């Protein structure tokens, strides 16, 4: 399983997944605020997501980035793809990820694409079912990535050799 890690001085790329304008109508008029979902990653298997809310777009994105850096996890990336098929669910969003051959690219929709590219996956097939809410899609994709285990981890967990993992 993936473990949480702390944000060090590493360079993270940040991607804005969704920006939502929220209007509160009061006696004095309308108040506009913004909610931003941001994904940060180092391109080497570390990913985090965060939600920032503020009265201005730039402030909401900055808050989301800070929240994402506090929520980092390490996932298993093997030669630019994922080690095995995985599926996950968060709320009404279902995601399924399949490993792909080199040169395939990231075949995924908007919110899932941002997460997969930020983590450093270059070749993957992805399908989202159910809700297309970007909040739940990002969270379901991270849950799926956290379930990934590489062959070395499987061999260590089972106390067997790496050859026996592949040959049975």
**Tens digits of pLDDT across the chain (168 residues):** 556 676 665 688 999 999 999 999 999 999 999 999 999 999 999 999 999 999 999 999 999 999 999 999 999 888 889 999 999 999 999 999 999 999 999 999 889 999 999 999 999 999 999 999 999 999 999 999 999 988 788 888 888 888 887 777
| Contact yes or no for 137/93 (Cβ under 8 A) | yes
Q: Which fold has domain 4-73?
A: Double Stranded RNA Binding Domain (3.30.160)
Model pTM?
0.88
Q: What angle do CA 115, 17, 23 make, to 5 degrees?
A: 150
- At residue 115, the 3 state secondary structure works out as helix
Domain ranges of the chain: 4-73, 77-158
C-alpha 18/C-alpha 90 separation (Å) is 17
Q: Please tell me the CATH code under which domain 77-158 is placed.
A: 3.30.230.10
């Amino acid at each position: 399983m993936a473990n949480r890690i702390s944000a060090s001085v590493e360079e993270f790329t940040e991607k804005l997944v969704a920006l939502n304008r929220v209007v509160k109508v009061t006696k004095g008029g309308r108040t506009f605020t913004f909610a931003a979902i941001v994904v940060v990653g180092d391109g080497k298997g570390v990913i985090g997501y965060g939600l920032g809310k503020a009265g201005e777009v730039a402030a909401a994105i900055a808050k989301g980035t800070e929240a994402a850096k506090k929520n980092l996890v390490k996932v298993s990336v093997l030669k630019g793809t994922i080690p095995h098929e995985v599926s996950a669910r968060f709320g009404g969003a279902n995601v399924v990820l399949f490993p792909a051959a080199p040169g395939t690219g990231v075949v995924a929709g908007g919110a899932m694409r941002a997460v997969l590219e930020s983590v450093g996956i270059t070749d993957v097939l992805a399908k989202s079912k159910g809700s297309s809410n970007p909040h739940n899609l990002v969270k379901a994709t991270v849950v799926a990535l956290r379930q990934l285990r590489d062959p070395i981890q499987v061999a260590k967990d089972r106390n067997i050799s790496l050859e026996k993992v592949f040959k049975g």
